[in-house]
Amino acid sequence: MTVEGPTGVVFPESGGGRSTTSLGRAVVADALRAVDPVGARSAEHETNWRHGYLGHFRRLVEAGLLSRDAAVTIARDGLASLHSRMRVVPDGGPETALDQVFSLPTDHQPLSTATVAGTGEVERELSLPYRGQRLRGDDLHRRLDDWAARGIIEPSCAEAVRAVMANPDWLDLRDQRIVVLGAGAEMGPLPSVLRWGGDVVAVDLPRPEIWRRLLRTARRYGGRLHLPVPPGTADDDAALTAHAGADLLHRLPQAAEWLLGVDGRLVLGNYVYADGATNVRVAMAVDALTRHLQERRDDAALAFLATPTDVFAVPAEAVRHAERGYAARGLARRSLRVLSGGRLLHRNYPPGADPGINDSLVPQQGPNYALAKRLQRWRATVARDAGATVSFKVAPPTRTRSVLRNRALAAAYAGAHRFGIEVFEPATSNTLMAALLVHDLRTGGGPALAHPWQDEASGAAHGGLWRVPYAPRSALGLAVLLGLGGARA
């Protein structure tokens, strides 16, 4: 795929255009080169990147299992490749390296801060919206028990949520400044932090429909919302709706300067998303911003939500759970596997794998989505290795607007329950993920583990993808067929 004529953070020139394929192939090869030179050459010579990327992204995980150093090297080299290759085209200026963006002259005026204080009651008890109810106390404990027993979440996820329930004072986040990059995202922690009376520093595009919704949320709860606005903006909702916003893709230095002026400890939460190739561009803008802020704010913590539709190493207990399900499968599913020549419903893991490799990449999401999410994982690994507090959590499959726009994914989600996968509503997911963020902030990033794959697996809420009997892609087509009626409904 070639992208023509953008400004801001852009792909590098390659063969007369800005090729997302050339970048993805080169970055994966660079990430693998020091640890797995054969894998690097394989990525470099992949002729069908749009469909062949799946195996190379799996190899990035497998090669990292050699050692902690191997995993950190892959992450560090992948990020270095992206930063050396990505470019910036300022409005009316010459193209330059992304790493030079913060030293470029700019005529954009500095942003000011508007603060909106909510009028709602502050909550100090963790509760979770779920299927029309609000679970708390014993009801929430029972829901966690059920999810863990069915393999919807890892036991460490349930333990982390229970720790927050047992320490309600942890929900008082007034000692933190939760920066929500992509404040309008359905998966972000903004509603929960405001519900708990905390301070949210909101960054999103200057689009009135986004800020109108965010202001309504802020007024409803008991926290404070800090918005970037041009100097002199009136403090009424109409003016804030019309003028708030910061453009990370095109005015990155302006957003960085504003965030550097925020008082208190920054928790830089990455919840940005865009369609197609723009997803990589905005993900790289956020990563450049993250690195810039970390160099100047040594107390900054980082927060990420990982997609469950990726490749992860998973604990041996998850493998055993899947194996028990595979052994208990019915005659119809055994027959279907035989009739399909082994293409459908093959086992999720080789017996006894430790760790197992869960490959839940979805081809329809494409290599740009995979790269945008993988670079976030790399940043989490490198930052944690350097001693930063990092909250990195695998979030469950969720019926977000972006998923439901994709007909195949919407159908697959509608049929996923037939295979033991639970798809969450956005309000459930974002509250659960916010609780896990609180846990990590109050425990220094969670337990200290020996290998980055264990850090990624800790507290995962994968919706069942890690513990179902079947490799997810081998059941995807059937889930789509079974879910088509539900998706239309």
d(CA 380, CA 386): 10
Q: What is the pLDDT of residue 121?
A: 95
CB neighbour list of residue 454: distance below 8 Å, 6 or more residues apart? 315
Count, residues in the chain? 489
Quickly list DSSP for 40-51.
HHHHHT-S-HHH
d(CA 183, CA 200): 9
Q: What is the pLDDT of residue 486?
A: 55
d(CA 123, CA 281): 37
Q: What is the pLDDT of residue 22?
A: 96
d(CA 261, CA 237): 23
- Cα distances from 469 to residues 142, 148, 458, in angstroms, run 24, 16, 21
Q: What is the pLDDT of residue 337?
A: 59
d(CA 418, CA 484): 13
Token reading at 333: 């599913």
Q: What is the pLDDT of residue 2?
A: 43
Note the helical H segments in 305-425: 316-327, 331-339, 366-385, 401-404, 407-415
pLDDT in tens, 196-249: 999 999 999 999 999 999 999 999 999 999 999 999 999 999 999 999 999 999
| Residue matched to tokens 């942003």 | 111
Rg (CA), the chain: 22
Token reading at 460: 């995962």
d(CA 348, CA 350): 7
| Residue matched to tokens 């993988």 | 374
Per-domain residue ranges for the chain? Answer: 8-100, 112-487
Residues of the chain with pLDDT under 50: 1-4, 487, 489
Q: What is the pLDDT of residue 4?
A: 46
pLDDT in tens, 121-174: 999 999 999 999 999 999 999 999 999 999 999 999 999 999 999 999 999 999
Contact 417, 423 (CB under 8 A): yes
Q: What is the pLDDT of residue 335?
A: 67
d(CA 369, CA 310): 10
3-class DSSP assignment, residue 186: coil
**Largest distance between two CA atoms of the chain:** 70
Token reading at 151: 């393999």
Of 374, 367, 358, 361, nearest in space to 309 by CA = 361
3-class DSSP assignment, residue 133: strand
Q: What is the pLDDT of residue 484?
A: 79
d(CA 355, CA 215): 45
d(CA 99, CA 88): 9
d(CA 289, CA 317): 38
pTM across the whole model: 0.94
CB neighbour list of residue 323: distance below 8 Å, 6 or more residues apart? 347, 349, 351, 469
Q: Which fold has domain 112-487?
A: Rossmann fold (3.40.50)
Neighbours of 125 (CB within 10 A): 11
Q: What is the pLDDT of residue 6?
A: 83
Q: What is the pLDDT of residue 3?
A: 43
Please, what's the b/e burial string for 27-63 (b: 16 or more CB within 10 A of its CB; e: otherwise)?
bbbbbbbebbeebbebbeebeebeeebbbbbbbbbeb
